[in-house]
Amino acid sequence: MILIVILHKCRGDNMKKLVVFFTAVFLFVFLLTACSNNSVGPVQEKKSEDNTSAVPQSGGKINIGVTSAINLDPLKVQTDEEKSFVSLIYEGLVKIDGQGRIKPALAKAWEISGNGRTYTFKLMNNVKWHDGGIFSSNDIKATFDRIRQIKSLREKKDKVKVFPEFDNIESYSASDADTFTVNLFKPDAGFLYGMTIGILPASSISLEKGQTGSPSDKSSDTQQILKPSGTGKYKVVKQDSDTIELKKNEDYYGKKPYIDEIAIRIFPDINSMKEAFKNREVDIMPVDTQDWGIFQNMPNVSLLHYPSRYFEFMALNLKNDLFSDVGVRQAILMSIDRNKILQDTTLGRGVIVDSPVMPFSWAYNPQVRHQPFNREKAGEMLKSAGWKDEDGDGILEKKVNGKKKKFEFELLVNTSNAARYQVASDIQKDLKEVGISVKMVNVPWEELKTRVMGEKFDAAIMGWKLSPNPDLRFMFLQDEIKNGYNFVSYSNPQLDEILIKAQSINLEQEQKALLYQAQEIISRDQPYIFLYSPNNLLAINARIKGFQPDPVNLFNNIDDWWVE
């Protein structure tokens, strides 16, 4: 399994960056946000007057604003924003589509050995680097060598795990110019998701080594690519402190985009970027829920919302006797009006979720049981579980181990997140109606994180950003309880077996069948109280046509965009 975890204080921090929330990498991210709409495709709520022809036109330039510098080295990018931009310039062996499926990129095809450990990639023909050089398997080998060098230096020096997808690579070789082979220590169905890393030309890597004196020089893992040269649809023609200019790659081997130029403009803050958008100096930018009305009133602006990879949940510490009964957990879910939460936090732009696999994914099971809001039935289930208000104080109680126990618990929420606070408040009110007393505890994010990871909590409002790779082991396996991310302490040997087997099978239909079973078990056991997945919100200058964003990468259909 490949897993990178990034902890964020709030999703609002991401708004200070761009705009582009998606990437084809392995990311699971704690989030502190909110959003709603049951569509799995982009929804355009506001359109401008459009009297133009629907026939795409070549040419034109678009401007995209960001509020932080962009690292154009594909091996050193950190944010989703950077990874999306880099995908315009560099390509991996494969790419990931909007449903999370693996598609050809620099590799036109691949074969997997019978034991699932050897991958043989056949490379695209007639591929040129932006500087005119010819792409070959030697470039892949040089890139892999550099990754291993960076990985070794960073893990020894900084004691951090980087490029975990390379932990399972035993060896690799460039057997001929058009073939590249990778041998794994053990089978891994998620291996190809790691092969989206952008490939660098061997010549630029050799130059970098020459500048640092030695491939093993400690400074080599911080060097920058001085002259970015990829194989992607756009090439870098200018780069300074506040602008990166990209131009269409006329030598691109595949379908060429219509738009000639893309300018990435770096702003000091989100407010200055908003002002630039109003003045038509920026064409695409993200929108916060509270700003939706502002952009609705702007002329010649289209507003879109579309699925994200985020989902929100209430984590329950299953070591607490209050939550050990699955029937009680189901009753808690039934007591919560999730539609109201969606409306309160996102104005209805998102979707209620009942599993950790999002509806856009190829692995999503549409038959997973949906638990509707039903306060009356929830009360009956709690009563059947022995919870009754014996003393008339409005709080349920029950004898546990011979002692009377009230149904009351603390719900952690981080103080900096208004949307999460609203969610916690709604849950508190809903559960009070069925006799459950919830004490909201507002804490700083770092304290919440420490308490949850240390399993010193009753319940907490949290969220994940999921990878396109539907590998759920990190949050459900029993092995993840002590040192991983199964902080709710959920244990089900049957689910463990299914999830482990799913990651050892390379046939999609067989893997999908296992993941369908897994989602049914998760929905039944309710180890988390799944709440909703927010949509991403974008404002776009109406002169941009053919724009169809997806949850994986904003630029996945860049070759269909065109300018009026």
DSSP 493-545: HHHHHHHHHHTT---HHHHHHHHHHHHHHHHHH-SEEEEEEEPEEEEEETTEE
How far is 352 from 370, CA to CA, in rounded Å?
Answer: 9
**51-60, 396-405, 546-555: segment of lowest average pLDDT:** 51-60
SS3 at position 65: strand
The pLDDT value given to residue 334: 98
The pLDDT value given to residue 28: 38
Predicted confidence (pLDDT) at residue 52 exceeds the cutoff of 70: no
Q: How confident is the model at residue 545 (pLDDT cuts 50, 70, 90)?
A: very high
Q: How confident is the model at residue 400 (pLDDT cuts 50, 70, 90)?
A: confident
Q: How confident is the model at residue 329 (pLDDT cuts 50, 70, 90)?
A: very high
Of 387, 399, 394, nearest to 327 by C-alpha is 387
Predicted confidence (pLDDT) at residue 16 exceeds the cutoff of 70: no
Predicted confidence (pLDDT) at residue 215 exceeds the cutoff of 60: no
**25-39, 112-126, 131-145, 519-533: segment of lowest average pLDDT:** 25-39
The pLDDT value given to residue 6: 32
**Residue range 470-484, pLDDT digits in tens:** 999 999 999 999 889
The CATH number of domain 310-535, selected from 3.40.1080.10, 3.40.50.300, 3.90.1150.10, 3.10.105.10 = 3.10.105.10
Q: Percent of the chain beyond pLDDT 90? A: 77
**Residue range 291-307, pLDDT digits in tens:** 888 898 899 999 999 99
How far is 281 from 303, CA to CA, in rounded Å?
Answer: 17
Q: Which two tokens stand for residue 27?
A: 């990311």
Strand order in the sheet with 169-176: 107-112, 118-123, 179-184, 169-176
Strands 261-266 and 437-443: unpaired
Q: How confident is the model at residue 216 (pLDDT cuts 50, 70, 90)?
A: very low
How far is 194 from 147, CA to CA, in rounded Å?
Answer: 12
SS3 at position 82: helix
Count other Cβ atoms within 10 Å, centred on residue 87. 30
Q: What is the DSSP letter of 200?
A: P
The pLDDT value given to residue 243: 94
The pLDDT value given to residue 207: 54
The pLDDT value given to residue 393: 95
The pLDDT value given to residue 341: 98
The pLDDT value given to residue 429: 98
How far is 229 from 515, CA to CA, in rounded Å?
Answer: 39
User: Can you say whether the dihedral through the CA atoms of 209, 211, 214, 217 is positive or negative?
Assistant: negative
Interhelix angle for 326-335 vs 508-525, to 10°? 90
Domain with CATH 3.90.76.10 in the chain: 91-143+161-203
Predicted confidence (pLDDT) at residue 423 exceeds the cutoff of 60: yes
How far is 46 from 48, CA to CA, in rounded Å?
Answer: 7
How far apart, in Å, are the Cα atoms of 442 and each of 304, 488, 549? 33, 20, 36
Q: Which two tokens stand for residue 382?
A: 């709690």
- How many CA atoms lie within 13 Å of 560's alpha carbon, on the beta-carbon side? 9
**23-37, 94-108, 222-236, 343-357: segment of lowest average pLDDT:** 23-37
Superfamily (CATH H level) for 91-143+161-203: Dipeptide-binding Protein; Domain 1 (3.90.76.10)
pTM: 0.86
How far is 61 from 260, CA to CA, in rounded Å?
Answer: 6
Q: What is the DSSP letter of 270?
A: H
Which amino acid is present at 69? Answer: A
Predicted confidence (pLDDT) at residue 3 exceeds the cutoff of 90: no
Contact 537, 305 (CB under 8 A): yes
**Residue range 80-100, pLDDT digits in tens:** 788 999 999 999 999 999 999
Strands 27-30 and 4-7: parallel
How far apart, in Å, are the Cα atoms of 492 and each of 238, 374, 525? 54, 27, 9
The pLDDT value given to residue 206: 67
How far is 42 from 540, CA to CA, in rounded Å?
Answer: 13
How far is 208 from 202, CA to CA, in rounded Å?
Answer: 10
The pLDDT value given to residue 67: 86
The pLDDT value given to residue 517: 97
Q: Could you give the angle at the alpha carbon of 352 between the alpha carbons of 351 and 358, nearest 5°?
A: 70
Class of residue 166 by CB neighbours under 10 A (exposed 0-12, middle 13-18, buried 19+): middle
The pLDDT value given to residue 4: 32
Predicted confidence (pLDDT) at residue 38 exceeds the cutoff of 90: no
Q: Could you give the angle at the alpha carbon of 347 between the alpha carbons of 342 and 351, nearest 5°?
A: 40
The pLDDT value given to residue 225: 56
Strand partners, 119: 112, 182
How far is 155 from 160, CA to CA, in rounded Å?
Answer: 5
How far is 213 from 396, CA to CA, in rounded Å?
Answer: 71
The pLDDT value given to residue 468: 92
Q: Which two tokens stand for residue 93?
A: 């062996």
How far is 485 from 543, CA to CA, in rounded Å?
Answer: 44
Predicted confidence (pLDDT) at residue 452 exceeds the cutoff of 80: yes
DSSP string, 207-236: HHHHHHSSTT-GGGGG---SS---SSSEEE
Which amino acid is present at 105? Answer: A
Predicted confidence (pLDDT) at residue 160 exceeds the cutoff of 90: no
How far is 219 from 31, CA to CA, in rounded Å?
Answer: 33
